[in-house]
Amino acid sequence: MANLEKQYRRHSLLQFFLALALLIIINVLANARFGTTTLYGALDLTEDKRFTLTDNTVDQLLQLEEPLLVRVLLDGDLPANYQILRQKIEETLLDFASYSDNVQFEFADPLEGDIEQVRDRQRQLQEDLGILPVTVYAASASQRQTNAVYPYAILYYGNRLRVVPFLEPALPSISEERRINQAEALLEYKLSRAIHGLTNDDKPVVGFTLSNGELPGVKTFDLVSALREDYEVGPVYLDSFATIPTDIELLVVAKPTVPFSDFDAFKIDQYIMNGGKVLWAIDAVAMDYDSLIGRNEFYPQPRSLGLEDLFFKYGFRLEPVLALDLVSTRIPIVTGTNQGKPNISLVPFPYHVMAIPEGEHPIVKNLDPVDLRFPSVISYVNDDPKVAKTLLLKSSPRSRRQRLPSPIDLDAQKYSLDQARFNEDSLALGVLLEGVFESPYANRLSRENEAILRENGMAFRRESVPTRMMVISDGDVLANEVRNGNEPLRLGENRWEKFQYANKSLMLNAIEYLINPDGVIGARGKEVKLRLIDRETARTEATWWRFLNIVAPLLLLAIFGLVFNWLRRRKYAQKASPTNE
């Protein structure tokens, strides 16, 4: 009997150690890889596939040649919503690290230490990296607290670094929960874009035309500065080239005011026919806010640029019609006097449209409104099946057109607008065109233009290779405001409302997509659905949910104990009965 008991114990110990060894082996294999091939996998069962990285991101991670350190400045005693964001960032970085041993990350609290240390650290972050904290207000029954939070990451790769802000600028009416949800949806895109900028040595070339009265450098300073992190950016003087160099991957035509000659229009057309991409930011109506300074009434005029034939053939038309919208930004207007001093009030100005991003396209997904100044209306002129048109920016359902000639009267803005006239919906303000375009010169090619092409070793193309272009009916969409004549503000910053609109994000997204639609921009297509708690339902059903979470587990545990004891007694009673007999 004693030998059988020893043998049983020995057998049980052997089974235990074998099971433990098997678990260790499985754990080692589950975290191992041979080269770039992993021996593990995962199933993403979430509806919005929030835990699945895009193919482009995975390829980036597999191609890392040096250690990539991600220092996240979101740590310490954080408000509840930012604790959630911190957790999501950590989960995303764990996903990144699962594809490459070169990915390393850490969390740091910039507010850790005594007051002097914190002040020095904050000053260094602001002066060296331009990192400013976000103020978060938390109200309780007894007091109102303010917290400084740093929703940023700093990426280090070799001798390069890149700062990643997780939060996008948002309107004051946007709840904190929605901002955090938006940040979660853009986590992969922002990190992937930063990695691409750190590791990419072959920067695409972006050219800004400067031959036809386009925006001066001080007005495009903020956009160009941001682009230089990932692109080679330079001016393109059309009169200096017989043909536009094909190594320019994107041409930006930013608010031209002087008409293009037919030869310059021909250069742009053949650039497009050979696969060039163009971002058009065009004012079809010659109107700026400065035209109203010193006068209360101004008659804007249509602006002809010599590009109308190109636009028509490509499938769109910029109508010389202003788009007005009740959903608009505000401007300062003198509404009276007080003791001889003017009373200045901010009033809605329907000519400054707060354009609404439209649809699920990566360029505008999770994008806040864009500030447009005196935009015109875009219309489609043909239904060419070879060109796909995607509406990206539109007006609200409370908009209308103002045809020319008709005045813009500042005095009229002091009074209530006739809202019944604002009865149009979704006026097109920004459109993406993709496909094969036809040249307007196909049936009217001059001998001079043909000879110039021949001299430069190029043949005339009647039809383009597949390419892309985007048109926005406001030239100021990519213009930053300037203070004191030479101090550029941030792109999208409205100096009257003290708020930064999404103009800069729109421009960066558009340029990124036009150059490489299958690259990093694809990660912007992710959607993380916001599932907010129904507070009223939670309040009325509080008793039921307390019972379910507290009492029900105890009841189940008691039932399990009773059943287990009953089965145990029954089992040993059956074993003992033959002996008793």
Q: Does residue 5 have a pLDDT over 70? A: no
Same domain for 461 and 493, yes or no, is yes
Predicted confidence (pLDDT) per residue in 77-129, tens digit: 888 888 999 999 999 999 999 888 999 999 999 988 888 998 999 999 999 88
Whether 532 is covered by a domain: the verdict is no
Same domain for 58 and 149, yes or no, is yes
Same domain for 175 and 241, yes or no, is no
The pLDDT assigned to 51 comes to 61
Mean pLDDT, residues 515-544 taken together: 68
Same domain for 190 and 212, yes or no, is no
Same domain for 454 and 477, yes or no, is yes
Q: Calculate the alpha carbon distances from 391 to 352, 388, 427 in Å.
A: 20, 10, 10
Q: With CA atoms as reference, report the closest residue to 364 among 531, 182, 213.
A: 182
Q: How confident is the model at residue 472 (pLDDT cuts 50, 70, 90)?
A: very high
Same domain for 92 and 144, yes or no, is yes
Question: For the chain, what is the mean pLDDT?
Answer: 85
Residue 248: beta bridge partners? 205
Same domain for 125 and 253, yes or no, is no
Q: Considering 525, 550, 572, which residue would you say is the last residue of a domain?
A: 525
The pLDDT assigned to 519 comes to 82
Q: How confident is the model at residue 239 (pLDDT cuts 50, 70, 90)?
A: confident
Domain count, the chain: 2
Whether 514 is covered by a domain: the verdict is yes
The pLDDT assigned to 155 comes to 94
In 3-state terms, what secondary structure has residue 52?
coil
CATH code of the domain covering residue 514: 3.40.50
- Between strands 248-254 and 277-281, the pairing is parallel
Phi, then psi, of 205 in degrees rounded to 5: -100, 125
Q: Considering 503, 525, 547, which residue would you say is the last residue of a domain?
A: 525
Q: How confident is the model at residue 581 (pLDDT cuts 50, 70, 90)?
A: very low
Instruction: Print burial letters for 475-500: b (CB count within 10 Å at least 16), e (below 16).
Output: bbbbbbbeeeeeebebbbbbeebebb
What's the DSSP call for residue 47? T
Assigned token pair, 326: 């009740």
Same domain for 189 and 211, yes or no, is no
Percentage of the chain exceeding pLDDT 70 = 86
The pLDDT assigned to 580 comes to 46
| 410 and 297 Cβ atoms separated by less than 8 Å | yes
User: Which residue matches tokens 């019944």?
Assistant: 420
Mean pLDDT, residues 31-46 taken together: 54
Mean pLDDT, residues 218-224 taken together: 94
The pLDDT assigned to 43 comes to 53
Mean pLDDT, residues 153-166 taken together: 92
Q: What is the residue range of 163's domain?
A: 33-197
Q: With CA atoms as reference, report the closest residue to 409 among 272, 556, 557, 300.
A: 300
Predicted confidence (pLDDT) per residue in 551-574, tens digit: 888 888 888 888 878 877 777 676
Residue 63's contacts (CB-CB under 8 Å, 6 or more residues apart) are 199
The pLDDT assigned to 141 comes to 47
In 3-state terms, what secondary structure has residue 88?
helix
Same domain for 256 and 304, yes or no, is yes
Q: How confident is the model at residue 528 (pLDDT cuts 50, 70, 90)?
A: low
Whether 565 is covered by a domain: the verdict is no
Mean pLDDT, residues 319-332 taken together: 92
Whether 537 is covered by a domain: the verdict is no
Phi, then psi, of 190 in degrees rounded to 5: -65, -45
Assigned token pair, 287: 């109107």
Same domain for 176 and 247, yes or no, is no
The pTM of this model reads 0.79
Whether 128 is covered by a domain: the verdict is yes
Q: Considering 479, 496, 525, which residue would you say is the last residue of a domain?
A: 525
Whether 259 is covered by a domain: the verdict is yes
Q: Of 163 and 338, which is predicted with more confidence?
A: 163
CATH code of the domain covering residue 92: 3.40.30
The pLDDT assigned to 173 comes to 67
Residue 475 and residue 213: Cα distance in Å, rounded?
12
Q: Does residue 72 have a pLDDT over 80? A: yes
Q: How many residues does the chain have?
A: 581
Whether 401 is covered by a domain: the verdict is yes
Same domain for 366 and 437, yes or no, is yes
Same domain for 384 and 425, yes or no, is yes
Whether 536 is covered by a domain: the verdict is no
Q: Does residue 36 have a pLDDT over 60? A: no
Mean pLDDT, residues 495-510 taken together: 90
What's the DSSP call for residue 143? -
Predicted confidence (pLDDT) per residue in 476-489, tens digit: 999 999 988 788 99
